[in-house]
Amino acid sequence: MALSAPAAAQLPPPPQPPPPPGWLLKLDPILKQRALQFSGSSLVVIRAVNASSLSALASLIQATGGTLGRPLSIINGRAASVPNWSLPILAVAPFVQHLSLDRLVVGAMERTPATIGSDVVRQDLGFDGSGIGVAVIDSGVTAWHDDLADPATNTQRVTQFVDFVNNAQTAYDDYGHGTHVAGIIAGNGFDSNGARMGIAPGARLIVLKAIGANGGGNISNVIAALDYVVSHKDALNIRVVNLSLAAGVSESYNDDPLTLAAKQAVSAGIVVVAAAGNNGRDAGGHTVYGGIGAPGNAPWVITVGASSHMGTTDRADDTIAAFSSRGPTLIDSAAKPNLVAPGVGIESLSNPNSTMYTSKSAYLLSGTVSSPALPYLSLSGTSMATPVVAGTVALMLQANPALTPNAVKAILEYTAQPYPAYDPLTQGAGFLDALAATELAQFFAAPSTPYPSSTQWGTQLLWGNQQVQGGQLRPSVNAWATDLSWGATTAAGNQDVEWGVICSTDNCATGGTGTWGPWRLGTPGPSGTHNVVWGSSCGGANCQGAWSTSEEDGLVWGTDDPDGLVWGTADNDGLVWGTSDQDGLVWGTSCNDPSCQPVVWANQ
């Protein structure tokens, strides 16, 4: 009699660690560590579940030995200094939404207008930013500079100055960074006979000081400044915010109070332009990916990397600045930057009563008129590239005040010029074209006019982590709604997100004939192929499509694979796969061509 084999023993599943207590989930990674300490204190930003809980929050902070800081109503929050032992008590309170470290934020022209075309915008189209309020959240602004003077009234074109560092009542800039940024946006070039004119010399400046004399500040200062912007946007016609500063990324943009404050500003219809950061290379000079700072890591802001005009007005020789931070973002693995603009050797205003006037004395420049101090300073950084874009946005909004933040970002990306030598995590949608962006903004105001176009435009959007192209932007679509986050997969009412139209011929952008239909997420372009993310497929030794894929949805990295795959291709000419292991680095290349250069993604 044959005997049957015994059934395989069923082993019990291995024991699972208990989930972390709910209060621990309310703390950012740094505060989780500090909550275990019984000494010391921390500067924090605490968000309440709603505005009606702010009084109870203030009482609890004081009852646990904390000191109240400024209220941050834009995020239903409060800045405070609290003992580390009190962090669990604060986090367990039901009316507390989240606690974050009040971390440090730091400040991250002659040829620039000609390179991006803003001089033509002023001369031929007649736009100079007049009537548009631009908020500059930075280190302040000099009390007087000829290039910021209003010829009609002989007063400074600073509509408002508010000091969130020292509470001074009159304008000053003890660091000098904010004065330089203000000049890039709206300097009129008086001390150089117009040669060093800013991008939108007719714009009005609302200067909010959040950075001190040493070039640093806390994110609560910036949040308070954003709160001021939203509260005064109508009275001061604030349409743009310039953030030439960056903080480290320690948590998701869905939890970070700084990025959430920026989201509130965008939801209020204000365009927020932020620096990508200057972390494009490590100490050894190697290219680094993953260095985008906050709030530039958030999808709702326009994040600007830096290019170099190479000392010429010819766009053909422009390059990416080696220091410019590249994506993807830490924690969320989001595609950034959105585009790049000139940020190397940018000549703008100096302040003789500032730290930079002394520490950067080798880069001071004279003007063409007599002045008691050297009026100009040459600086490099994404801090300089950001106001180039903010000034361009002022031109666009003067041309078409009805533009929403999403429409502004779409136009900037669509008209940007991508360079084949760079991937989208380096250049975003491409190099800024201010003239093209303003022309397309005009079309949005009068869509019956001929559609502007150029062979240099990328005609693409980096919509979240999708690269979509092949269509024509149109003004009356749901993608431009202020309540729709950039990169969303569906619009209100669970409708498809639509950006414009596509047609069956390759000359769609110039009004070609054919079958027209909606241009929406997931639809094929004119060639009938699905959208591709990060580049194109290729098979040669000089392949540039490192972030390409044959998958129809086009997503490459950021998967939830248990093995921790992050990005890459199986192509020998592309980048090898990396893992999110304990070493925290994704690096290497399997390219066999001698010209292939290794890349490094610094991951924390």
506 is catalytic: no
How far apart, in whole angstroms, are the C-alpha atoms of residue 593 and residue 604? 30
Q: Is 430 left (phi over 0), alpha (psi -120 to 50) or beta?
A: left
How far apart, in whole angstroms, are the C-alpha atoms of residue 114 and residue 199? 10
Task: Point out the catalytic residue in the list 102, 138, 191, 571.
Answer: 138
Cis status, amide bond into 526, omega within 30 of 0: no
How far apart, in whole angstroms, are the C-alpha atoms of residue 403 and residue 401? 6
222, amino acid identity = V
SS3 letters for 291-323? CCCECCCCCCCEEEEEEECCCCCCHHHCEECCC
How far apart, in whole angstroms, are the C-alpha atoms of residue 101 and residue 298? 18
Looking at the DSSP bridge assignments, the partners of residue 520 are: 498
How far apart, in whole angstroms, are the C-alpha atoms of residue 604 and residue 600? 13
Q: Which residues of 304-340 are buried (b: 16+ CB within 10 A; e: fewer)?
A: bbbbbbbeebebeebebbebbbbbbbbbbbbbbbbbb
Task: Point out the catalytic residue in the list 308, 348, 354, 383.
Answer: 383
Please identify which residue in the block is written with the tokens 């008209």.
415
138 is catalytic: yes
Extended beta strands in 322-363, E state: 339-342, 346-349
Please identify which residue in the block is written with the tokens 């994404």.
382
Is residue 369 helix, strand or coil?
coil
Edge-to-edge order in the sheet of strand 67-72: 67-72, 77-83, 41-48, 96-101
- Given a contact cutoff of 8 angstroms between Cβ atoms, the answer to whether 80 and 99 are in contact is no
Token reading at 479: 């993608």
177 is catalytic: yes
180, amino acid identity = H
Task: Point out the catalytic residue in the list 145, 177, 232, 309.
Answer: 177
How far apart, in whole angstroms, are the C-alpha atoms of residue 297 and residue 303? 8
DSSP code per residue over 382-442: HHHHHHHHHHHHHHHHHH-TT--HHHHHHHHHHH-B--TTS-HHHHTT-B--HHHHHHHHH
How far apart, in whole angstroms, are the C-alpha atoms of residue 157 and residue 349? 14
Token reading at 140: 């302040």
Among the listed residues 395, 336, 357, 325, the one whose alpha carbon sits nearest the alpha carbon of residue 113:
395
- Given a contact cutoff of 8 angstroms between Cβ atoms, the answer to whether 584 and 603 are in contact is yes
Angle between helices 434-445 and 382-399 (to 10 degrees): 30
Which residues are known to be catalytic? 138, 177, 383
